[in-house]
Structure 1
Amino acid sequence: MRNNFLTLVIMLLSLAASSCTSDSEAGEQPENNKNTTYKNPVIQASLPDPTIIKAADGYFYLYATEDIHNTPILRSNDLLNWKVLGTAFTDETRPNWEPNGGIWAPDINYINGKYVLYYSLSVWGGGNTCGIGIATATNPAGPFTDNGKLFRSNEIGVHNSIDPFYIEDGGKKYLFWGSFFGIYSVELADDGLSMKPATTKKVAGTAFEASYIHKKGNYYYLFASVGSCCEGANSSYKTVVGRSENLFGPYVNKAGKPMMENAYEVLIQGNNQFVGTGHNSEIISDEAGNDWMLYHSYIRSTPDKGRVLVMDQVHWVNGWPEITGQSPSFENSVPVF
């Protein structure tokens, strides 16, 4: 799902050119100069399919589909001001088990003392041979060492096997994935680097991709994206959700209709400024207990910028997540850090 390489090169030049300066000069906001509001997009450059982690050093690290070659890594202390650190791979270390494949939709995690980056490797239209691989590092800024593929679509029997998401539950480790041919899960070994045999399960229908599961209270919430992701101002992408009392479902909407039959609740959809709102990150809580979600979207008036980085607060109403107005905010109060 690569889009607009030049846009990210421009961002890299404008943000990372200050790599020899202090963090505040490079875009990470100093403690004594915080605004009370921010405006979307957070970054006006293409960062599709964001994934985020708070590392042991207290910083947030963000990774995205490679509009800049070899997968960008950015760092922030407030979710708003981001510094480009570099890329997860170099041309010499990038995965090559799918020739000419792009690195899409990474998912960052901390497992057993290592930063583990699950990634999709695919060419556009290569749903039969694409798959999911694993890379590891001791530092969230890299360098990452590629461990190779976990599986290909034609090996695991799930067409278009991309968009990985890792979760731990009940002392076990799982990977969820899928793109418009069902959302599936598989149990992983304790190190997270291999699969346990005969553990594949289908958990949602064929309308969805970009799955993410968040546990809150008694429920698991399955976030996903539906529609077309990558058609500029004509994109129909939107973020949806269902919930279940079990990790593997059944996930249902508010009316009790199952996501296995492609039912859902809309969380985020376009408005007069943004369109193609989808592939959300992990939910991050600030120091006041507010929940925040990053995702990508096109700007309607300038879709050539690519899928820019947008952020909104997630409110919990009667046991369901909501974004105010079901669409991206133009201006919002800043997270509390």
Structure 2
Amino acid sequence: MAGPLVASVAAQPTETPIHDPVMAQDGDRYYLFGTGEGIAVWSASELDGEWTQEPSIFDEAPEWTSQVVPNFDNVIWAPDVRQHQGRYYVYYSVSQFGRNSSAIGVVTTPTLDSDDPNHEWTDHGIVIQSVPERDRWNAIDANLAFDDDGSPWLAFGSHWLGIKMVRLDSTLTELATPQEWRHVAERHRYWKVHPRDAGDSANPELNYDSLYTEQIVELNRDSESGAIEAPFVFQHGDYYYLFVSWDRCCRGVESTYKVVVGRSQSITGPYVDKEGEALRHGGGSLVVHGLEDHNRWAAHGHNSAYTFDGTDYLVFHAYDAQDDGTAKLMIEEIEWRDGWPVVSFTE
């Protein structure tokens, strides 16, 4: 990993409880979405104002979710929101811890204002699904981005063999035909390495690592082993910046989340860090992480990034040691130094 871009200093937080935050602006209000029952929604008139909880998107889990995760409890993970051609698209993840029995769905509305008579969510079902024993990637943590030609790409991935991108069609609800896939980021993980032999294909516990061609490897399913997830693509100047989160989430102040970044002049990569190391091969320049002594904020991660009124912001969560490790919203301005994002924290 390349050296830090910022010091390990706690950001100015809000008291809004949120995990995996993303944002959009509709009219004179900002809307915040995050992991939660039916997808958690909040709104505020100012980024640094008071956030008010809004109705969740789903009162009940979409019917299709039980096909992916039996008895799904409607706790929906890691949404992403994007406005396009007069509609808001919210991509969301259905999964369970430790498995890649997962799918990304998408739901749309013409307005985020729940008081507007045109406010109505329409679910379009599964965009992409990962299946255990078939796939070596995990269909969660979606992020929609557009290339310079206006083609839509969905970045996604968590653990397993890292971060993928797949091109969508013009509806933004289905994969393009023919399909176009890219592998954009991965971390070195702990593997049990075996020589290939003729019987390997019969063993479902063995998986081919994308970084090797002459070896077969057994995937270590330990979530602490080289964890990478939560991609977010942000365009600034001549570059696309791919943010990802490393290490352990979801354990309160025992979490070790951190955000790293790479950049590329193509949306599909290759992305490299400040030292020129490819994110596909474990590279990533540190942007932000929590205080190592957990006093007060731990494990800054699962970020998004936006431009509001001409200012770029990094949005993420951190775990509050003074509130039982609750994940809370943080919003910080991005400063650009030598073409790289820097977040300047104050006590």
Bin for the TM-score computed over the shorter chain: 0.7 to 0.9
Alpha-carbon distance between aligned partners in 1 of 2:63 and 2:53, rounded to the nearest angstrom = 18
Q: Work out which of the residue numbers 179, 188, 200 in structure 1 matches 2:181.
A: 200
Give the equivalent residue in structure 2 for 1:268.
Answer: 288
Give the equivalent residue in structure 1 for 2:91.
Answer: 118
- The alpha-carbon deviation at position 174 of structure 1 amounts to 1.0
For the pair 1:166 / 2:144, whether they are aligned, the reply is: yes
> Per the alignment, do residues 279 and 114 of structure 1 end up closer, same or farther by CA in structure 2, a change over 3 Å counting?
same
Alpha-carbon distance between aligned partners in 1 of 2:61 and 2:240, rounded to the nearest angstrom = 40
> Per the alignment, do residues 96 and 132 of structure 1 end up closer, same or farther by CA in structure 2, a change over 3 Å counting?
same
Larger Rg: 2
Q: Work out which of the residue numbers 37, 47, 70 in structure 2 matches 1:79.
A: 47
Q: SS of the counterpart of 1:54?
A: strand
Q: Could you tell me which amino acid in structure 2 is paired with residue 51 of structure 1?
A: V
- The alpha-carbon deviation at position 192 of structure 1 amounts to 0.4
1:113-152 equivalence runs, <5 A: 113-127=86-100, 129-140=101-112, 141=114, 142-152=119-129
Give the equivalent residue in structure 2 for 1:60.
Answer: 30
Give the equivalent residue in structure 1 for 2:278.
Answer: 258
Q: SS of the counterpart of 1:87?
A: coil
Alpha-carbon distance between aligned partners in 2 of 1:329 and 1:70, rounded to the nearest angstrom = 34
Alpha-carbon distance between aligned partners in 1 of 2:322 and 2:109, rounded to the nearest angstrom = 39
Alpha-carbon distance between aligned partners in 2 of 1:308 and 1:294, rounded to the nearest angstrom = 11
Q: SS of the counterpart of 2:31?
A: strand
Alpha-carbon distance between aligned partners in 1 of 2:180 and 2:321, rounded to the nearest angstrom = 42
Alpha-carbon distance between aligned partners in 2 of 1:109 and 1:158, rounded to the nearest angstrom = 27
257-266 vs 73-82, which deviates more?
73-82
Give the equivalent residue in structure 1 for 2:322.
Answer: 301
Q: Could you tell me which amino acid in structure 1 is paired with residue 300 of structure 2?
A: T
Q: Could you tell me which amino acid in structure 2 is paired with residue 40 of structure 1?
A: Q
For structure 2, list consecutive stretches of 5 or more residues without a partner in the other structure: 1-10, 188-226
Q: Work out which of the residue numbers 8, 17, 20 in structure 2 matches 1:49.
A: 20
Alpha-carbon distance between aligned partners in 2 of 1:303 and 1:135, rounded to the nearest angstrom = 33
* Count of residues in Structure 1 that have an aligned counterpart in Structure 2: 281
**1:165-219, CA deviations, whole angstroms, 9 ceiling, x for partnerless residues?**
0011212111110112211111111110100132111111144211111111111
**The structure with more helix, counted as a fraction of residues:** 1
CA contact (8 A) 1:111 1:191 kept: no
